């Protein structure tokens, strides 16, 4: 299925609406782009009962560190709503123990397939912490792996869901904004699948919410 590419004025609002309507097992992503979407989702839906929140990836720092994805998502969303069951990646355990712990959590309390996965796209077209040229991108057996060397700042080790888990999601929504993503958007969504642009390897029911700046090279 081709991705549904949507260039819209306010992609964060559209992403917030998707999140507010979601139920079941929902994967949230890190980075700075989704912050406003998370804040709006908290306003639109204060009660997250019936939602299990998971993470696409995490930086190997403690949860109260400024680079923690859990910290960012908590401040913008999870601390503002009630009812959600939150499954945090434990970055403080390091990439390999943290990945093993999350795999156990996923095997014990997770679904076969996530209901909704929110993703961002890096300027190098990475998704989650699956960077071009890294072994983690080629992983097909494990559901969660550790990444010792991040391909981009912040240059801390990572924990990440693997591509088969991403692609097994029932729905995948990208939220992408800004001129610095335009080239990556073009490589991820208007070329052939190419491991040098991990976003191009995402398959399934994929909707891409982006602003005009991010979509400028399509
Ligand atoms: C992370 C991510 C990562 C992110 C992209 C976009 O931990 O950094 O989860 O995949 O989504 O790098 O990040 P920005 O929104 O900050 O550009």
pTM of the model: 0.97
More confident residue, 98 or 191: 98
Q: What is the pLDDT of residues 128-157, one digit of tens each?
A: 999 999 999 999 999 999 999 888 889 999
Burial code (b: 16+ CB inside 10 Å, e: under 16) for 23-48 equals eebbbbbbbebbbbbbbbbbeebeeb
Buried-state track 61-76, b at ≥16 Cβ within 10 A, e below 16: beeeeebbbbbbbbeb
Q: How many CA atoms lie within 13 Å of 65's alpha carbon, on the beta-carbon side?
A: 14
pLDDT, tens digit, for every residue of 47-93?
999 999 999 999 999 999 999 999 999 999 999 999 999 999 999 99
d(Cα 218, Cα 48) in Å, to the nearest integer?
Answer: 36
Q: Which two tokens stand for residue 126?
A: 């990475």
Nearest Cα residue to atom 12 of ligand 1: 122
Which residues are bridge partners to 194 per DSSP? 197
Q: Is 186 exposed, middle or buried (0-12, 13-18, 19+ CB in 10 A)?
A: middle
Ligand 1 pocket, residues with Cβ under 6 angstroms: 29-33, 56-57, 59, 69, 120, 122, 126-129
Q: Which numbered atom of ligand 1 lies nearest the CA of 154?
A: 8
């Amino acid at each position: 299925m081709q991705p549904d590419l949507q260039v819209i004025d306010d992609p964060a609002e559209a992403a917030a609406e998707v999140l507010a309507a979601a139920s079941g097992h929902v994967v949230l992503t890190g980075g700075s782009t989704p912050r406003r979407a998370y804040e709006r989702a908290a306003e639109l839906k204060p009660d997250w009962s019936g939602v299990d929140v998971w993470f696409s990836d995490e930086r190997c720092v403690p949860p109260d560190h400024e680079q923690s994805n859990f910290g960012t998502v908590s401040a913008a969303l999870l601390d503002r709503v009630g009812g959600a069951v939150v499954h945090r990646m434990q970055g403080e355990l390091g990439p390999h123990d943290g990945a093993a712990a999350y795999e156990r959590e996923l095997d014990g309390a997770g679904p076969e397939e996530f209901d909704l996965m929110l993703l961002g796209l890096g300027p190098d077209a990475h998704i989650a912490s699956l960077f071009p040229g890294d072994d983690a991108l080629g992983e097909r057996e494990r559901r969660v792996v550790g990444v010792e060397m991040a391909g981009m700042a912040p240059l801390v080790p990572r924990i990440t869901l693997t591509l088969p888990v991403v692609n097994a999601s029932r729905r995948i929504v990208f939220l992408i904004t800004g001129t610095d993503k335009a080239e990556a958007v073009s490589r991820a969504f208007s070329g052939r699948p190419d491991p040098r642009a991990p976003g191009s390897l995402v398959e399934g029911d994929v909707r891409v919410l982006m602003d005009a700046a991010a979509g400028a090279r399509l």
